[in-house]
Amino acid sequence: MKWILFFGALIGLSICGRKRFFGDQVFRINVRNGDEISKLSQLVNSDNLKLNVWKSPSTFGRPMDVLVPSVSLQPVKSFLKSQGLEYSVTIEDLQALLDNEDEEMQHSEGQERSSNNFNYGAYHSLEAIYREMDSIAGDFPELASRVKIGHSFENRPMYVLKFSTAEGRRRRPAIWLNAGIHSREWISQATAIWTARKIVSDYGKDPAITSILEKMDIFLLPVANPDGYVYTQTQNRLWRKTRSHNPGSPCVGADPNRNWNASFAGEGASDNPCSEVYHGPHANSEVEVKSVVDFIQEHGDFKCFIDLHSYSQLLMYPYGYTVKKAADADELDKVARCAAKALASLSGTTYQVGPTCTTVYPASGSSIDWAYDNGIKYAFTFELRDTGHYGFLLPANQIIPTAEETWLGLKTIMEHVRDNLY
């Protein structure tokens, strides 16, 4: 009986530090009497065999589980045989089992990461996204809060998630993550809400995001065009613009990414309300755009603005409204290339990098051009997956892979901002 206590209960095995267990096996040894226990204690206590008891029997008749390193398999087997101890091998290769488990965990970790079972691998309604934002803020009240920054043309709330570790109301340099400004680009909103959950889940665990949040705040707007998004769900899946009314025209909406005050109504936009790139009657005419502009200007200390779009797999920086090179183009280009490389490292998804105007086409009144011209140096546009096969209608099973790889790109940019605050 003392022997049993002597063993102690070394239950479970720590895998911190990522030790490897190739070829190691777990033996289940039958323990029938005190005599057998004393024989086993010899075995277990021998230093050079390096056995690790997983489960020691609390009564006779219960087996003992022991982890046997591969180098010790032969001597242990010989010993057990010579002592007449019965055993069976319950785990033939511990490393293989751990690898398998890891895979499974990652898989389901990606699938459902919140307690109320919001499936991140699916597209959701506006209400569901807003509810999940609220849920994230509720799950991590010290870190995240849902903030209303305005409303849409049809009077829907515009919510951002604010991630901040700052004490009280102290204002820190900030990063703006914009998504869903073009409503039909569903992978954008989906990636954004995944990213929100990722930020709160990884804070305190991942050194990168932890250190970023120690120095800066992050504001995430997953649905920058709520009216358009609802319209794509109810009426027209391929709707792009806002749903504002244009007096005197049967056509609805303006392109919110031609409506910012950066060479407004210049090259690469249309003055025809029926056009998909109609810039609107004047800069910031779209309340959705104005809400963001007002918030950012009032805050006054944004250092980074990233706009998520689809599709084409591009990572771009200013300018769209001119071929003239931005003053910081060289630095932005380097950062973008680094980010694209990090993104590609996950699944091989390749992005082209360059200034908007020559990489895709001229576009005036765009969000990142406005941000850049207003002192927000680190301004980037992501055009997410794919390159035209499914286009806007990206299958839901690509949401998580896209979000995961994009996260690596986002982190690269945010880390650079953190290390180059101005």
What is the contact surface with other proteins in residues (CB under 8 A)? 122-123, 232-233, 237-238, 240, 249-251, 255, 265-272, 274-277, 323-325, 354, 358-363, 388-396, 398
Instruction: For the CB of residue 278, give the shortest distance to other proteins in the complex, in Å.
Output: 9
Contact 371, 302 (CB under 8 A): yes
Structure tokens given for 261: 């005050």
Q: Which is nearer to other proteins, 156 or 184 (CB)?
A: 184
Q: How far is the CB of 317 from other proteins (least distance, A)?
A: 13
Beta carbon nearer to other proteins, 25 or 232: 232
Residue whose CB is less far from other proteins, 362 or 409 = 362
Which two three-digit tokens encode residue 140? 């991590």
- 153/5 Cα distance (integer angstroms): 72
Residue number, 116 or 249, with CB nearest to other proteins: 249
Q: Residue 307: is the preceding peptide bond cis (ω within 30°)?
A: no
Q: Encoding tokens for residue 350?
A: 């390749």
Contacts of 97 (CB under 8 A, 6+ apart): 91
The helix (H) or strand (E) run that includes residue 215 is: helix 207-215
Contact 410, 196 (CB under 8 A): no
Residue with structure tokens 């005190």? 34
Tokens 């006779």 map to which residue? 60
Minimum Å gap between C-beta 258 and other proteins is: 10
Given the residues 383, 404, 405, 415, the one annotated as active site: 383
CA-based nearest residue to 68, from 49, 87, 86, 40: 49
Closest approach, Cβ 266 to other proteins, in A, equals: 8
Shortest distance, position 136 Cβ to other proteins, whole Å: 23
Note whether 263 and 321 are within 8 A (CB).
yes
| CA-based R_g, the chain, Å | 28
Q: Which is nearer to other proteins, 13 or 265 (CB)?
A: 265
Contact call for residues 253 and 242 (beta carbons, < 8 A): yes
Catalytic residue flag (residue 383): yes
Residues recognised as catalytic: 383
